[in-house]
Each structure stands twice: as C-alpha cells, then as structure tokens.
Amino acid sequence: MPFIKQTAPTHVVTPRAQQSTAPQALVAVDPQNISDTSITSGQVQFAINITNSLPINSFVIRVSFNVNVTTISKSGLSFQGGVLGNTPNISLECINGVSVISTFCPPQDRLGTIDLGISMLGGTTPNPTNGLLFKLTLDIAGKPGLSQIHFLSADLENGSGTPLNIQSSDGYFTNRLCSPNVYCKPPVAVFTVTPAVPLQNVPAIFDGSTSHTPNQNQTAGQKIVQWRWNWGEKDLEDSEFPLGIVNQTYNYAGNYTVTLSVVDTDGMIGSYSAPLLINRIIVDIGILDLSANPSHEIQPGTIVTITASPANIGTSAANITLRLFVDRKEVENKNYTLPRGCQTGCPAGPPISYSWDTSGLAVKSYAVEAKVEHLTGDNNTANDQRIVFVQLWLSQGSSNIGLSLFGTVGVSIIALIAIGIAVAMFRPKPKDEPL
C-alpha cells in the first residue's frame, strides 16, 4: 500500500504549574504519521520540530513509543542541523530508562521512553525560532500495529528560568488496518481531575471515561477496553483498570505529569499527558480579631464589650471551638465550621460577643484572652491565642481618692510631728550647754 499522511490531534503538554503568558510555541512530530502496511522491517524516521517560538537556549523533551511495534538504538537520536547548533551541550540523553552519556536518568524514564536535554553553549536562537530540535529514528519490531510518538513533557527555556508556553502535536507509525482500506489511528485519551488541584493525602477523582477511539470495525463495535494510568510519582505504581474512573491519593505535594493510555478493542493504544499540581495540606486555625471596648482608663462599673473572631487559614474546612477568658476565667465559647482560607469577609457567622460588667472590681489591669482549641497537625500554633488588656482605675478627681489620701497623709504628718517633739524632749543636753 502507498504511504499515507494523516493528521494527529494536538494538545498542550506543560510539565510545570506556572507558565508564561507569551504566545504558544508548537513542538510537533513531522510527519504527523507514517502509515504503510508494506513497512514490516527496517526503519522509520521522524523529526521533532519547533515552530513560532520565542528565542530559546535549551530544551528538555520526553516522548514515549510502543515497544511492541517499534524500538530504538543508541544511534536513534540525532540533533545535527538543529536550532541549537551542531555542537550543543547534551545534559540528558536517556533511552528506555538507560543513560547514553553515563549520567543519571529521571525515575519516570522507563522502557519505551526517550528523554533528551540539550542547551546552547552561548546565546539564544532567533525570534521567532523555527526548525529542527532533533531527529528520531525507530526500528520496526516486526509485529504489525501502531506506535504513537507521544509527548510526555516538553520544556523550552531561554535563560530566564521560566518555561515557555508550549503546544505539542503527537505523531504515530502504523502498518496495520483496523477496517478495510483504513489505517489504524491512536485512540483519543482524555481525563479530568476533581478537585482540579488535589491535596496531599486526600483522594482525588481521575475520570478518563470520555476517552474514545476513531477506529471502526464493521464486524464489532469499537470501544475503549482498558485505561492505563502512569501517575508520575515514583512511589505510585502504574494502574490498569477496565473502567475509566479511579480514585488516587498522592502522599507528597509537588508538580507531577500524569499520563493516561487507553486501549481500544483492536489493541490500539493512545496516550494523553497533563501536568498535575498537588498542594500541601495546611492546618492553620487562629484568632482573626479580638477587641475590648472601652479598654483604657475606665471606671469600675463600666460595661466592656468584648468581641472575638476565629480564622481558618488552612487548605481544608475546619471545625473550630473559640473560647473567651477574662482574668483567666472562661466566660464564653462558640463552635464554628469554617471553609478553607476563611479570613476577613468569609462566611464564618457572627463573632463571639460578651458584655463584661466591671462593677465592684479592684483597680488594676485585666487580661482578656481569646483561644482556639488546637487541631491535630496545626502547622502554626502561634496565632491560636490573642490577649488584650483592660485597665480599671480611679481618676484623681474622685472624692474617695481625695479622702483616702487626706486621711493617710494627715495621720503621717501628725505622727512625724509627735516623733520630732519626743526626740527634742528626751535628747540629752551637752555638758557645756548653759542651764
């Protein structure tokens, strides 16, 4: 059969959570497909090209392929004539999880992956940048089928430390028909994650049930029969399921790349990869506000209004008990259920409030304290308590203070006079003093 070129779907592959707002560059497999049933041995070659990119000085690209249909040797990667020059610096070159240049390979590299990192020795490429990144030569394994050249991740950088926006377009080789005169195509894998930004140690729902296949068989209905998940985390094993919805829990916060590969009735495999950010669980409850009004230079008998509000600065809803103390005695408490990130303006309900009658109390400063009960795992306990002081005193114009002072001072003066007279009367006279 003759060589046929078909189109492959494009998708965005960005391995990091933070991306530039610059226009997207296209990283694509060229040709998009090689479809020919007569190719049962030998080699096929694809170019990995870049189009309409801002200047770059390095890239790191990971692609996967079907080892049952194609294989690759150490000489299968070539970057001669690429946009980074003929003698760039090779920082990473891994094939099937094995390094070609005697350096380490990332733990996510395995059989059926290619990981290549290259940088220029100086300067950057033109603006815009168009051309070859590297060439990929695959050996035909002999078994008819389909091998998708799938971008697991792609980083383009220009020295600023911020990866550029990238749109990627996969390609594939096939030497098999899935229906008369129609070449097999990769199934379309898609998935969603709920919540969109999961928390560590909290199960998230991965839904790949809308994945589908373009292949049609006249004798049997085509459908997806298997969902294969690669979670991109070294401690999580790959999973295979006959259904498209699965719960998964990440034990560590970080940025990951999740890959879903789906298999249709004909055994054709199609993959999709997307970045995933796992947030760290933050448990942080505290006192948002505490006030006493009035609080300074007040007369005993004044009614002081005390109000306090809690806050939930953590990443999950929290049940909070707020307690209010005056002079170390609990006078009020209230329970709250606060949503995540609940601070100023959050729907937390009214603050706790207490009217304190200071009648008959001694003149001094009183501590008013608000506390939230500690939650297990609280990352910050410094804000679990807040104290303000209320000062009771008597003004100097008070009659009580005047009488008190007069009585005390008067007695003291009289006593001092009496002591002085006694000393004068009984003091012995000098011998030379006249009688």
Mean pLDDT for all residues in the chain: 84
Domain enclosing residue 305, as ranges: 285-391
Query: Is 60 exceeded by the pLDDT of residue 16?
Result: no
Cβ burial 403-430 (10 Å sphere, 16+ → b, else e): eeeeeeeeeeeeeeeeeeeeeeeeeeee
Residues 109 and 65 in one domain: yes
Q: Which tokens in the block code for residue 359?
A: 């009648």
Residue 165 lies in a domain: yes
pLDDT band at 196 (very low <50, low <70, confident <90, very high): very high
Domain count for the chain, please give it: 2
Q: In the 3-class helix/strand/coil scheme, how is the chain assigned residue by residue?
A: CCCECCCCCEEECCCCCCCCCCCCEEEEEECCEEECCCCCCCEEEEEEEEEEECCCCEEEEEEECCCCCEECCHHHEECCCCCCCCCCEEEEEEECCEECCCCCCCCCCCCCEEEEEEECCCCCCCCCEEEEEEEEEEEECCCCCEEEEEEEEEEEECCCCCCCCEEEECEEEECCEEECCEECCCCECCCEEECCCCECCCCEEEECCCCECCCCCCCCCCCEEEEEEECCCCCCCCEEECCCEEEECCCCCEEEEEEEEEEECCCCEEEEEEEEEEECCCCCEEEEEEEEECCCCECCCCEEEEEEEEEECCCCCEEEEEEEEECCEEEEEEEEEECCCECCCCCCCCCEEEEEECCCCCCCEEEEEEEECCCCCCCCCCCCEEEEEEEECCCCCCHHHHHHHHHHHHHHHHHHHHHHHHHHHHCCCCCCCCC
The fraction of the chain above a pLDDT of 90, given in percent, is 63
Residue 420 lies in a domain: no
Q: Which residue has the higher pLDDT, 412 or 174?
A: 174
Query: Is 60 exceeded by the pLDDT of residue 134?
Result: yes
Residues 213 and 336 in one domain: no
pLDDT band at 161 (very low <50, low <70, confident <90, very high): confident
Residues 246 and 334 in one domain: no
Residue 250 lies in a domain: yes
pLDDT band at 159 (very low <50, low <70, confident <90, very high): confident
CATH number, position 167: 2.60.40.680
Residue 398 lies in a domain: no
What is the arithmetic mean of pLDDT over 222-241? 93
Phi, psi of 419 (to 5 degrees): -65, -40
Q: Which residue has the higher pLDDT, 4 or 148?
A: 148
What is the pLDDT at residue 426?
A: 38
Q: Which tokens in the block code for residue 346?
A: 């959050």
Query: Is 90 exceeded by the pLDDT of residue 248?
Result: yes
What is the arithmetic mean of pLDDT over 41-57? 95
Residues 260 and 326 in one domain: no
Q: What does the alpha-carbon distance between residue 132 and residue 48 come to, in Å, rounded to a whole number?
A: 6
Residues 27 and 109 in one domain: yes
Domain termination residue (choose one: 252, 278, 304): 278
What is the pLDDT at residue 219?
A: 56
Q: Which residue has the higher pLDDT, 152 or 377?
A: 152
pLDDT band at 218 (very low <50, low <70, confident <90, very high): low
Q: What does the alpha-carbon distance between residue 403 and residue 415 come to, in Å, rounded to a whole number?
A: 18
Residues 31 and 179 in one domain: yes
Domain termination residue (choose one: 250, 278, 306): 278
Residues 365 and 229 in one domain: no
Residue 352 lies in a domain: yes
pLDDT tens digit sequence for 312-332: 988 888 899 999 999 999 999
Query: Is 90 exceeded by the pLDDT of residue 377?
Result: no
The whole model's pTM is what?
Answer: 0.70
CATH number, position 380: 2.60.40.10
Residues 166 and 250 in one domain: yes
Q: Which residue has the higher pLDDT, 435 or 308?
A: 308
Residue 1 lies in a domain: no
Domain termination residue (choose one: 258, 278, 298): 278
What is the arithmetic mean of pLDDT over 365-385? 91
Residues 30 and 174 in one domain: yes
Query: Is 60 exceeded by the pLDDT of residue 160?
Result: yes
* Alpha-carbon torsion, ordered 215, 220, 222, 225, to 10 deg: -130
Query: Is 50 exceeded by the pLDDT of residue 20?
Result: no
What is the pLDDT at residue 429?
A: 43
Residue 87 lies in a domain: yes
Residues 268 and 315 in one domain: no
Residues 300 and 321 in one domain: yes
pLDDT band at 22 (very low <50, low <70, confident <90, very high): low
Residues 58 and 121 in one domain: yes
Query: Is 90 exceeded by the pLDDT of residue 79?
Result: no
Query: Is 50 exceeded by the pLDDT of residue 302?
Result: yes
Residue 125 lies in a domain: yes
Question: Which of 281, 287, 365 is CA-nearest to residue 326?
Answer: 365
Query: Is 70 exceeded by the pLDDT of residue 177?
Result: yes
What is the pLDDT at residue 340?
A: 83
In one-letter notation, the amino acid at residue 25 is A
